[in-house]
Amino acid sequence: SQRKHQEIRAMRSQLKKIEDLGAAMEEALILDNKYTEHSTVGLAQQWDQLDQLGMRMQHNLEQQIQARNTTGVTEEALKEFSMMFKHFDKDKSGRLNHQEFKSCLRSLGYDLPMVEEGEPDPEFESILDTVDPNRDGHVSLQEYMAFMISRETENVKSSEEIESAFRALSSEGKPYFCLCLTSAVSLFQNLTREQADYCISHMKPYMDGKGRELPSAYDYIEFTRSLFVN
């Protein structure tokens, strides 16, 4: 992206030559060029648009690289976010309207409620408060990526916190915990009855390196990460 942007910047000198030739033609009162449908003004506008697009793409890529390096967001997740945005950006404008943005979120696994047109949608409105606070009706790629990175980072942190809590129930920080009287009491002390029951009923048995199931051992790492796949 940076190399292409530099190539575009280098073309400015060629555009300057065209502008000089156009000025010379005007001085000679040659106002109609039958050899091309383009004008120097039109070419300059297109070059400016291409230059601006290159800067936006470079900034977005730098943001993604920083996110990958500092927030724990995986490169695969960033690619999925970008790919999904492009899928819903039908007119290739680099922005989504609110309906396209909502469809994009649903495709990424957000469980947004279905509401009738004109009905209040507080959950989606709270998201728009972040990505489109002035309600201009559109979400840019930069705004969208910043939102997704922020949400993914929150999930990573929450996942790590829950893993840490379960690790405290395990012996010597092992990737599983054994359900005994002591760990059960601790589990029910820190969670509601419904939450504890959900954890135990949805947690898979822990398998050792040879694929053998350990008695009364639960794989809390696999369970925790499955909660934050979105």
Return the pLDDT at 96.
Answer: 95
Which has the closest alpha carbon to 227: 205, 198, 207? 198
Longest dimension (CA), the chain: 97
Torsion of CA 14, 15, 17, 19, to 10 degrees: 170
108's CB contacts (< 8 A; 6+ apart) are 80, 81, 84, 148, 230
Return the pLDDT at 80.
Answer: 87
Which has the closest alpha carbon to 131: 119, 149, 116, 113? 149
Return the pLDDT at 101.
Answer: 94
Return the pLDDT at 26.
Answer: 76
DSSP 177: E
Return the pLDDT at 21.
Answer: 81
Return the pLDDT at 183.
Answer: 64
> pLDDT, tens digit, for every residue of 94-114?
899 999 999 999 988 888 888
Return the pLDDT at 100.
Answer: 94
Q: Where are the domains of the chain?
A: 1-70, 75-156, 159-228
Query: Which neighbouring-strand residues pair with 218?
Result: 177, 205
CATH of 159-228, one of 1.20.1250.20, 1.10.238.10, 3.40.190.10, 3.40.50.1110: 1.10.238.10
Same fold, 75-156 and 159-228: yes
pTM (predicted TM-score): 0.43
Q: Pairing mode, if any, of strands 95-97 and 205-207?
A: unpaired
Return the pLDDT at 156.
Answer: 58
All residue ranges of the chain with pLDDT < 70 are 1-2, 5, 60-73, 153-162, 165, 169, 171-173, 177, 180-196, 225-230
Measured CA to CA, the distance from residue 42 to residue 14 in angstroms comes to 14
Return the pLDDT at 192.
Answer: 62
Return the pLDDT at 85.
Answer: 93
Helix (H, G, I), strand (E, B) or coil at 41: helix
Return the pLDDT at 104.
Answer: 92
Which CATH number describes the domain made up of 75-156?
A: 1.10.238.10
DSSP 192: -
